[in-house]
Structure formats: C-alpha cells, structure tokens
C-alpha cells in the first residue's frame, strides 16, 4: 500500500472513530484525552520486552468484546449470522470501545499502543456494519478477532485466554 493510500485510510479511520465516539458519548462528560508528542507509534511493540499494564475499564471492555465475539463465533464461522445480527454485534463492540476510550487511564505509551488495536477493531466494526463495500461482513469479524489476538499478545490481561477459532 502506498503512503498516500495509508494516509487516506488513517484519515478515514480517524474520522470514523471521532464520529463514533461523539455519537455514542454525546451525553457523557469526557475528561480531556491528550497524547504527549511522539506517543503515536505506527506499529505495535512491547514495553521493554513486557506486556503493557491495563486498567479496570480496559479489562472490562475487552472482556465484554471477547464475550460478544465468542458468542457470535459459531454463526460467523458457518456464515449464518444475519446482517441485523452483524449490526447488533458491531454496535455492541462499538459501545465497548467508546467506554474504553472515555475511561482511559493508561500511561501515554500504553495508550498509544492500545489505540493501534482499537483502530483495527473499529475497522472490523465498520465492515461488520456493511459500510465497506465489496467486503463481506464476516471479514470484519475476522478483523476484530485478529485485533483481540494482538491485544492478548501485547497487553497483560491476567486470566484471559485466547479465543479458539
């Protein structure tokens, strides 16, 4: 993918994320959420060889996303999840992401790493909603599952087991 295409994809995803957050949290009071300069990496990395520490809101939100995806997994695998159920699943995941973002208390480096994973999840959500033309909704679910695997690899979430699929 060229740099120009990457930029436009990033811009579209950022715009989508901001509209999603403003839509889902329009009535919520959100504390300012700023990143320090230079804390927006483009690739995932560990924290000096260790997984990043998480907080309670992230733990809860990611557990809820995992549960929703696990429940839908049989229908996703057999191609029997209806468009309406994909929309409902996407909305559930989207709401959890909005809650994670609204309650973010991670240090800036961990937060920047998390945002890479959240961007992947939101990309999958958009596809599950049918907003990505010529790409199956099932592909969006696979994108979300892949992002959850990345989360497991880079964040220290005690007791969490990978989704088997």
For residue range 43-88, what is the model confidence (pLDDT) as tens digits?
999 999 999 999 999 999 999 999 999 999 999 999 999 999 999 9
Task: List the one residue out of 165, 127, 129 whose CA is nearest residue 148.
Answer: 165
Check the CA dihedral 54-113-48-143 and report its sign. Answer: positive
Ordered alpha helix ranges (H), 27-157: 56-77, 83-102, 108-128, 137-154
pLDDT at 102: 95
pLDDT at 41: 66
Let me know: does 59 contact 130? Beta carbons within 8 Å.
no
For residue range 13-28, what is the model confidence (pLDDT) as tens digits?
444 444 444 334 333 3
Q: What is the pTM of this model?
A: 0.75
For residue range 121-139, what is the model confidence (pLDDT) as tens digits?
999 999 999 998 899 999 9
Place 158 in a pLDDT band, splitting at 50, 70 and 90.
confident
- Report residue 72 as tokens: 């839908």
Domains defined for the chain, CATH in brackets: 49-158 (1.20.120)
For residue range 77-126, what is the model confidence (pLDDT) as tens digits?
999 999 999 999 999 999 999 999 999 899 999 999 999 999 999 999 99
Across the range 26-51, mean pLDDT stands at 62
Place 8 in a pLDDT band, splitting at 50, 70 and 90.
very low
Q: Average model confidence (pLDDT) for the chain? A: 81
pLDDT at 133: 86
- Please state, in angstroms and rounded to a whole number, the distance separating the CA atoms of residues 139 and 53: 29
């Amino acid at each position: 993918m060229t740099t120009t295409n990457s930029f436009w994809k990033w811009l579209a995803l950022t715009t989508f994320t901001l509209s999603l957050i403003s839509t889902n949290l329009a009535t919520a009071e959100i504390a300012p959420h700023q990143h320090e300069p230079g804390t927006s990496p483009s690739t995932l990395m560990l924290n000096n060889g260790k997984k990043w520490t998480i907080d309670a809101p992230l733990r809860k939100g990611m557990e809820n996303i995992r549960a929703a995806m696990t429940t839908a997994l049989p229908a996703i695998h057999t191609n029997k999840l209806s468009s309406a159920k994909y929309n409902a699943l996407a909305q559930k995941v989207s709401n959890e992401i909005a809650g994670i973002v609204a309650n973010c208390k991670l240090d800036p480096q961990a937060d920047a790493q998390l945002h890479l994973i959240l961007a992947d999840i939101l990309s999958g959500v958009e596809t599950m909603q049918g907003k990505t033309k010529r790409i199956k909704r099932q592909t969006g679910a696979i994108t979300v599952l892949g992002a959850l695997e990345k989360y497991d690899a880079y964040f220290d979430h005690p007791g969490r087991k990978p989704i088997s699929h």
